[in-house]
Amino acid sequence: MSYFTQQKTFKTLLFLFTFFYLPVCHCHVQAQILDHSWRHIVLEMDEDWYGSKDAQDIADYVLLYQKDIGGWYKNIAMQTPLSESEKDELKKSKSKSKGCTIDNGATYLEMLYLSKVYKHTKNEAYKIAFLKGVDYLLEAQYANGGWPQFYPLKEGYYTHITYNDGAMVHVMSLLKDLSQGSETLGITLDEATRAKTEMAFKKGISCILKTQYKQDSTLTGWCAQHDENTFLPAKARAYELPSLGGVDTAQIVLLLMSIDNPSDEVKRAVDAAVVWLEKTKITGLKEERYTTDDGKKEKRYIQDPGAKPLWARFMNLEDNTPFFCDRDGIKKASIMDIGRERRVGYAWYNSQPNKVLEAYPKWKKALKPTPKNSYNITVAQDGSGDYTHIQDAINNCKSFPYDRITIHIKKGKYLEKIHVYEWNPKITFIGEDKAETIISYNDYFKSINLGRNSTFHTATVLVEGNYTHIKNLTIENASGPVGQAIALSINANACIIENCNILGNQDTVYLTGEHHKLWFKNCLITGTTDFIFGNATALFTNCEIKSKSDSYITAASTEKHSEFGFVFQNCTLTATPNVHKVYLGRPWRYYAKTVFLDCNLGDHILPEGWHNWKKTEAESFGFYAEYNNTGPGAETKNRVNWSHQLSKKEAKTYTTKNILGINSETEWLQ
């Protein structure tokens, strides 16, 4: 008899049992259901079975249950045969996406199952549905890296970042395999989607690190759910209060320990969590289930010196003491103080953290030691260098060094937000290959969501250390045309950016500091609107400035007493196809100064050249000028009357010495 014939017979018998035999045979029926649970079918069948006709029939049901948005509802026995009318109803309800979730293994289990069946059958329908699931998971992720329990969002505690029952960990494990091109799933992604899954995983890790709870500044573990805005432990159901959880922490730590070449921040998180798990383990306690004299199921905990350690499901945030709750939400110190329904029907203790404690020594031993040469450091994603993450290398640099530190960065795409702190001056970053050594992140104004100044938190690379030198790298904000999104932000003095690609859209490069002086040499800078902006003095020599939309190149906010603002010398202004209406600049603040000398201006530059941003005061207070430019956009007869054409004598004042205060770059690179 085939599996499906058995299932149809089972449905018929279940109907009869419900009316005639349920009081007597209830336990037997439940046993049959558990024997054929959806989770068991996805995770525990023999590998060859997934290529069978029965497996494909179930996969076809999984396709029917998938909603147009790409996700699935929870708590559905996907293996249960469907009548024709039931199939028709599912087809009609495809657009009903509210209810799609990652809770209780939903979406994750369906995707995993489809991948297993596809691996054996190569049925494209299963792959297409799986890829829709990937798109759903990517869309459901918060900009801060977390996942809600339901997407589309469902009001209530369902919007919290959800670690409960491994929801987010399962999603991230799936994305991790996909981002690494793992063959275990049998499905590989195109490069663009693979890159998205890699970024989603990185942001997920960032979220996990931000939500790790601190007790008096000491890192501990995690809660089952965290507020999506504050990252603090949050309440779910009445008996699921803000707390720390052993099982949730264990699942997260096992995920962190699976990362190849983990960052220092990940290492610290794991170390702290292991210390906390050791501190909170309960020894000598064993769960015992039994039936009372009146036939009711019960459980109790008895002393047993040989029992494996256990951890409470809920621990107080202040002191880690376990607590228990009925549906009234009132904390109780003992499990025997709550009613039988909650006592028996809920897992209040768990032994899963033992897996962490068993794996931790081996994980710790495999970690790479700190490099011996602290002035000459190599970063390589494959583990062949001193560090695998650029930020880790920065974090381990000497503060305020007397000599220059050089960080060599091997080829690769580093999905990191980089911060060169004020106490990390005199660092040179040298990429192995400009085109293939890429620092990329995708924060933007709305994703940061910190109010009107969110723009300044979006930078992929933020430099605050004086005398920073960046060479042979690509720095990009990969968020796309979604508003303000900085690729490179510099709030430091005497920095040189050399032979780099700086890629973005609106607000690509932010340069700030009234007395800060910066030098860009032989760089490509791309963007749409105001993509070079700020109040620092900056010299651009032999750079390509590429406009990607009809808009404005510069938005200077030069300070009133600064002699120079943005100066472009021997630069080439280009544009992508279909871009024909670009202004050289406009004043972000009244005293803005921007000058182009000996540059080649493409035909995308408008005849009027400059725009006043509806600030008539800026026409007299600011200074916009040109000298000896060439190209179709250099014609000056129709320039706005408040701009200037420098004389030869005036142009001679625009020297490196006058603008930056140095004769050569070596004065800043010592």
Mention every residue, 6+ apart, whose C-beta is less than 8 A from residue 487.
459, 460, 461, 475, 476, 477, 502, 503, 504, 508, 509
> What is the C-alpha to C-alpha distance for residues 350 and 332, in angstroms, rounded to an integer?
18
**Total residues found in the chain within this entry:** 670
Q: What amino acid occupies position 630?
A: T
Q: Which of 319, 392, 507, 603 is catalytic?
A: 507
What is the number of alpha carbons within 13 Å of residue 575 lying toward its C-beta?
A: 24
Query: Would you say 609 and 580 are in contact if contact means Cβ atoms under 8 Å apart?
Result: no
From residue 424, alpha-carbon distances to 399, 405, 492, 499 in Å are: 5, 9, 11, 22
Max Cα distance, the chain (Å)? 106
Query: Would you say 447 and 455 are in contact if contact means Cβ atoms under 8 Å apart?
Result: no
CA torsion angle 411 413 417 420 (round to 10): 10
Q: Which of 216, 392, 530, 598 is catalytic?
A: 530
Please give the DSSP secondary-structure letter assigned to residue 56.
Answer: H
Instruction: Establish whether 57 is a catalytic residue.
Output: no
Q: What amino acid occupies position 245?
A: G
- Closest to 335 (Cα-Cα) out of 288, 281, 277: 288
Tokens of 190: 């195109």
Instruction: Establish whether 603 is a catalytic residue.
Output: no
> What is the C-alpha to C-alpha distance for residues 371 and 185, in angstroms, rounded to an integer?
37
Separation of CA 644 from chain center? 46
Residues forming beta bridges with residue 153, ordered by sequence position: none
Q: What amino acid occupies position 292?
A: T
Peptide bond into 242 cis (omega under 30): no
> What is the C-alpha to C-alpha distance for residues 236 and 79, in angstroms, rounded to an integer?
30
**DSSP H or E run through 659:** helix 656-660
- What residue has token string 């600064």? 562
- What residue has token string 């970024």? 199
Helices (H), 166-219: 167-179, 191-211
Query: Would you say 639 and 610 are in contact if contact means Cβ atoms under 8 Å apart?
Result: yes
> What is the C-alpha to C-alpha distance for residues 473 and 438, in angstroms, rounded to an integer?
6
Mention every residue, 6+ apart, whose C-beta is less than 8 A from residue 449.
143
> What is the C-alpha to C-alpha distance for residues 57 and 8, in angstroms, rounded to an integer?
13
Q: What amino acid occupies position 408?
A: H
> What is the C-alpha to C-alpha distance for residues 161 and 74, in angstroms, rounded to an integer?
17
Instruction: State the burial class of residue 5 (Cβ atoms within 10 Å of its Cβ: 0-12, 13-18, 19+).
Output: exposed
> What is the C-alpha to C-alpha distance for residues 410 and 472, in angstroms, rounded to an integer?
11
From residue 668, alpha-carbon distances to 494, 548, 595, 662, 665 in Å are: 6, 33, 24, 8, 6
Q: What amino acid occupies position 474?
A: T
- Closest to 645 (Cα-Cα) out of 560, 558, 556, 584: 584
Mention every residue, 6+ apart, whose C-beta is less than 8 A from residue 219.
212, 213, 268, 269, 272, 273, 276
- Closest to 351 (Cα-Cα) out of 293, 424, 277, 295: 277
Catalytic residues: 507, 530
